[in-house]
Amino acid sequence: MTIATLEAIPTSYTPRWLTPVLLLGIAYLIIPLVGTSYLFEAILLPFLALSLAGVGLNILTGYAGQVSLGSAAFLAVGAFAAYNFNLRIDGLPILGSIFLSGVVAAAIGIVFGLPSLRLRGFYLAVSTLAAQFFVQWALTKFSWFSNNSASGVIDAPPLSIAGVEFNSAVGRYLFSLTIVAVLTFLAYRLVLSQTGRNFIAVRDNETAARIIGVPVLKTKLIAFGVSSFVIGIAGVLWAFAYLRTVEPAGFNLDRSFQILFIIIIGGLASIRGAFFGAALLVVTPLILSRVGSFLLGDFFDSGVLDMSQRIVLGGLIILFLILEPDGLVSFWDRIRKRTTTRLLRQ
Amino acid sequence: MNSINRISGVHTATYLPVDIAAEQQNARVYGNEPHPAGKIALGLESVSLSFGGVVALENIDLSVRPGEIRAIIGPNGAGKSSLINVISGVYRPDRGHVRIGHDRFTNVPTQKLVHLGVARTFQNLALFKGLSVTDNVMSGRAHKARSTFLGQIFGIGRSPSEEVDAHDRAAKILKFLNLTDVGNRLAGTLPYGLQKRVELARALVAEPALLLLDEPMAGLAEPEKVEMTKFIRAANREYGTTIVLIEHDIGVVMELSHYIAVFDYGRKIADGTPEEVRADQKVIDAYLGVAAENIDGGGI
């Protein structure tokens, strides 16, 4: 994996805040007016939750260089922790449950990050599988976590802040959008700070980082904690805003890989990359199913769809690793640069 | 700052190019007289190191005074890099002690090295390729950060002033080393010679009392060597930094160093001024090679 992307290098003369503000303006003002409920339910809600999870994993893997295969575990921790906080603490506002669930995910993330102090690369990735299997097992084994529901399924509580309901498709979209926007902004602040530089220093050369006085162990644990916090909250959005009903089995290894693919395809060590990657991963199956049923008709059933999805996704990842190792972000930047220079020339 | 005073025993005020003029006026130039009062910036006491039976260092004694430029030379495999790695705690010696200022270690704590006032560069570049040049140099101030990551995210507490301070110091060092123009480039995209210089900048920004340079000239073209020599000498003179450097280019070493230690097969075979070392028969033998009959008077 080549990781050499940095967003701090300006490619054009527009101010850095302009694009995010414009996008947020469209997301808040225009999309709720024109969007259909299909757009919200099938595209935007999973997109937002997966993007946030991608941002979280990118802090750990893209910036700090610690590969993790346990993202889905932290999604699950977030979802089930928020469910329990909401259920068991009377009068705790939903945002309080969400914040606390992030804290719980961060704590568990730090515990499962401890092997990173001794293990690197491939071995660390394998050790993060422990989180993946342990969390899924614990949530299934102890029915307390799902309030003794027979199948381990939990239902999302209604979303409301200070009496305002967010239970319609648009409402849940705006709820997710706000949380994602705030956390993304904070993540952006983090990666540009001294701690963010420490992340990259540890990733690029751990020995040199230690010698120049970067607190390597602390930096790794901060990366695990912050990353798990963000992924945990993404899990709450996945469970409460998108699916509304989740079970532990939904947070399996496939989901962990999905999030890893999001940041590989989108671009490692790039906040924007998580959004690019998530967009591609959410939209590809939908396009595939449309195109497939148009071309092949009835033969293209859900089984074939599922298979062809995996094949197309696998192919995409191989293509990206070979042709565009820095992900969609660098692809996008190149196109933008080329068009701006062409426009300026005319 | 404490660490610096502790080692050099002399008040080194601030360590920035703005103060260069003032320091020159004070005429407190270490350059030609590296002998303040018998103090020791770096000392090795009977240090031995071996890798599974292969002896890398054998009973090495070395003492470097504050303000000195000390070169360590020797043929390939003489143990020069091992020595720097022992001093910076990357390797743990089998026997012996390392003195840094007033502290004596059997095993130098790498993580605390910078707090002891020691910085180093690497033989094969060890820059952070994914960071810009400025960020690389700023990371040399990471050990000074007292703000928490939460403070940094929300921009509260000490974090904003620390960030400004680190940025200013990095900018000054970059200016000093003529790197200002490439400040925004990713370090990994620079030509080799410039990367070497960025590494020097990253080491200097920590205001080390003792700077270890592992082959600073390796892979540089002749004009780059001239420049690098100038920078090393300037760092020594204007900041009073003690410098220990490993180098293959004998011309550079003779010109730059106050004292030279010569290593061969893990042993120190000579130690003295450039003139003394140049005239030393053992050194000549080690460099030119000597046939067995010349010593023993017999053939093979």
Q: What is the pLDDT of residues A48-92, one digit of tens each?
A: 999 999 999 999 999 999 999 999 999 999 999 999 999 999 989
Question: Please, are residues A167 and A158 in contact by the beta-carbon 8 Å criterion?
Answer: yes
Per the CB < 8 A criterion, the answer to whether B201 and B137 are in contact is: yes
Ranges of each domain in chain B:
2-117+207-288, 126-191
Q: What number is the average pLDDT over the span B51-61?
A: 90
B119: alpha, beta or left? (left if phi > 0; alpha if psi -120 to 50): beta
Percent of residues, chain B, with pLDDT higher than 70: 83
Q: Which pLDDT band holds residue A295 (cuts at 50, 70, 90)?
A: confident
pLDDT tens column, B77-110? 888 889 999 999 989 999 999 999 889 999 999 9
Instruction: State whether A4 and B129 contact (CB < 8 Å).
Output: yes
d(CA B70, CA B68): 6
- What percentage of chain B reaches a pLDDT higher than 90? 66
A255: helix, coil or strand? helix
- How far is the alpha carbon of B115 from chain A, nearest alpha carbon, in Å? 8
Q: How many CB pairs under 8 A join A and B?
A: 112
Least confident of A183-187, B73-77, B134-138: B73-77
Q: Do B130 and A198 touch (CB under 8 A)?
A: no
Q: Give the list of residues 6+ apart from residue A55 with CB closer than 8 angstroms, or none.
A: A183, A184, A187, A230, A234, A271, A274
- What is chain B's mean pLDDT, rounded? 84
Closest Cα in chain B, distance from residue A171 (Å): 28
* Domain B2-117+207-288: CATH class, spelled out: alpha beta
Region A325-334 average pLDDT: 90
- The complex's ipTM? 0.86
Residue A333 pLDDT greater than 80, yes or no: yes
pLDDT given for residue A151 in this prediction: 80
**Which residue, among B84, A192, B207, B200, has the nearest Cα to B93 in the 3D structure?**
B84
CB distance A4–B186 less than 8 Å?
yes
Nearest partner of A20 among A175, A173, A177, A176, judged by Cα = A177
C-beta atoms surrounding A128 within 10 Å: 25
- Who contacts A275 (Cβ-Cβ below 8 Å, separation ≥6)? A51, A54, A266
For residue B8, pLDDT over 60 is answered with no
Confidence bin at A302 (pLDDT 50/70/90): confident
* A197, A209, A226: residue with CB nearest B135: A197
| Residue of B27, B10, B3, B1 lying closest to B238 (CA atoms) | B27
Confidence of residue B291 (pLDDT cuts 50, 70, 90): low
Q: What is the pLDDT of residue B18?
A: 40
SS3 B58: strand
Handedness of CA A247, A249, A253, A257 (dihedral sign): negative
**Residues in chain B whose beta carbon is closer than 8 A to a beta carbon of chain A?**
88-90, 110-111, 113-115, 119-120, 122, 126-132, 135, 138-140, 142-143, 145, 147, 149, 152-155, 159, 162-163, 166, 184-186, 188, 202-203, 206
pLDDT band at B9 (very low <50, low <70, confident <90, very high): very low
pLDDT of residue A12: 52
Would you say residue B5 has pLDDT above 60?
no
Q: Would you place residue A17 in the very low, low, confident or very high pLDDT band (cuts 50, 70, 90)?
A: confident
- Which tens digits make up the pLDDT trace of A96-116? 999 999 999 999 999 999 999
Q: Is 70 exceeded by the pLDDT of residue B220?
A: yes
- What's the residue count for chain A? 346
Residue A250 tokens read as 């939904």
pLDDT of residue B296: 47
Indicate whether A6 pLDDT > 80.
Answer: no
Interface test with A, best of B131, B147, B198, B210 (most A CBs within 10 A): B131
Q: Closest Cα partner for A259 from A127, A65, A62? A: A62
Chain A residues touching residue B186 (CB < 8 angstroms): 4, 6, 9
Give the span between the Cα atoms of A71 and A254, in whole angstroms: 10
Determine contact, residues A79/A154, Cβ cutoff 8 Å: yes
- Quick one: tokens of B247? 């180098």
Q: Please report the residues numbered 247 through 306 in chain A whose beta carbons come closer than 8 angstroms to any beta carbon of chain B.
A: 269
Predicted pLDDT of residue B290:
60
Cα angle A230-A103-A127, degrees, rounded to a multiple of 5: 70
One-character DSSP codes across B224-273 = HHHHHHHHHHHHHHHH--EEEEE-S-HHHHHHH-SEEEEEETTEEEEEE-
Average pLDDT over residues B2-14: 41
Closest CA to B170 of B151, B156, B146, B187: B187
Would you tell me how many other CB atoms lie within 10 Å of the CB of residue A284? 15
Which segment, A257-261, A320-324, B278-282, is predicted with the most confidence on average? A257-261
Pairwise CA distance, residues A118 & B129, whole Å:
23
Sequence letter at residue A106: A
B121 SS3 class? coil
Radius of gyration (Cα) for chain B, nearest Å? 20
Given an 8 Å threshold on Cβ–Cβ distance, is A200 in contact with B202?
Answer: no
Query: Measuring CA to CA, how many Å separate A53 from each of A21, A224, A232?
Result: 21, 13, 8
Which residues touch A271 (CB under 8 Å, ≥6 apart)? A7, A55, A58, A184, A187, A188, A191
- CB within 8 Å: B184 and A8: yes
HSE of B106, CA atoms in CB hemisphere, 13 A: 2
The answer to whether B111 contacts A213, with C-beta atoms less than 8 Å apart, is yes
For chain A, give the percent of residues with pLDDT over 90.
71
Given a cut of 90, whether residue B24 has pLDDT beyond it is: no
Quote the CA–CA distance of A234 and A305 in Å, as a whole number. Answer: 27
Q: How far is B166 from chain A (nearest CA, A)?
A: 9
Q: Given an 8 Å threshold on Cβ–Cβ distance, is A200 in contact with B131?
A: yes
Average pLDDT (A243-255) is 93
Query: pLDDT tens across B120-131, in order?
Result: 999 888 999 999
Distance from CA of B288 to the nearest CA of A (A): 35
The percent helix, strand, coil of chain B (3-state, each to 5) is 45, 20, 35
At which residue do the structure tokens 């270690």 appear? B105
Interface test with A, best of B153, B161, B163 (most A CBs within 10 A): B153
Q: What pLDDT sits at residue B52?
A: 86
Q: What is the pLDDT of residue A185?
A: 97
Task: Give the pLDDT confidence score for residue B36 in this predicted structure.
Answer: 46
Residue A1 in this model has a pLDDT that exceeds 70: no
pLDDT mean across residues, chain A: 91
Model confidence band, residue B294 (pLDDT cutoffs 50, 70, 90): very low
